């Protein structure tokens, strides 16, 4: 049976590494063409969509690093980020499956925060 520490470490690695990988992929588009997920918002951006996604990539990399160093704060940051992404996808009227996935991942990030809080 897994201990609280093992569960916390598993979630910490997951929510640390996944945002870093997703952030790095904003520069390579190996996983997907990230600009597609912007939908209509790309028409109102004050800068090029590719530049915007690279900024998003930096934010995601930093968020992942924070999770690895300070999991309580980082988990809440990642949770909020995932909720914002899901809401943007829902508002765009596309990629509802990805929005649901991101909301489920936000619950996982919240769980990491709670495990970190009680396991101090």
- Give domain limits for the chain: 4-118
For 60-64, which contacts have Cβ atoms below 8 Å and span 24 or more sequence positions?
60/19, 60/20, 60/22, 60/23, 60/26, 61/19, 61/20, 61/23, 61/24, 62/23, 63/19, 63/23, 64/15, 64/16, 64/17, 64/18, 64/19, 64/20, 64/23
Report how far apart, in Å, the C-alpha atoms of 79 and of each of 36, 47, 52, 75, 102 are: 22, 26, 21, 6, 9
The chain-wide mean pLDDT, for the chain, equals 94
Is the full-model pTM beyond 0.85? yes
Compute the distance between CA of residue 28 and CA of residue 79 in angstroms, rounded to an integer: 24
Nearest-5° angle of CA 56, CA 95, CA 32?
50
Report, as ranges of residue numbers, the positions in the chain whose pLDDT lies below 70: none
pLDDT, position 1: 78
Q: What is the pLDDT of residues 63-96, one digit of tens each?
A: 999 999 999 999 999 999 999 999 999 998 989 9
pLDDT, position 51: 95
Tell me what percent of the residues of the chain surpass a pLDDT of 90: 83
């Amino acid at each position: 049976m897994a201990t609280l520490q093992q569960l916390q470490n598993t979630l910490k690695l997951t929510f640390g590494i996944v945002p870093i990988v997703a952030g790095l992929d904003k520069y390579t588009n190996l996983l997907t063409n990230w600009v597609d997920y912007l939908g209509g918002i790309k028409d109102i951006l004050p800068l090029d969509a590719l530049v915007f996604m690279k900024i998003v990539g930096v934010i995601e990399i930093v968020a992942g690093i924070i999770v690895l160093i300070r999991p309580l704060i980082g988990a809440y940051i990642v949770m909020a980020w995932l909720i914002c992404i899901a809401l943007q996808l829902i508002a765009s009227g596309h990629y509802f499956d990805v929005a649901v996935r991101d909301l489920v991942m936000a619950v996982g990030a919240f769980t990491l925060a709670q495990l970190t809080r009680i396991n101090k």
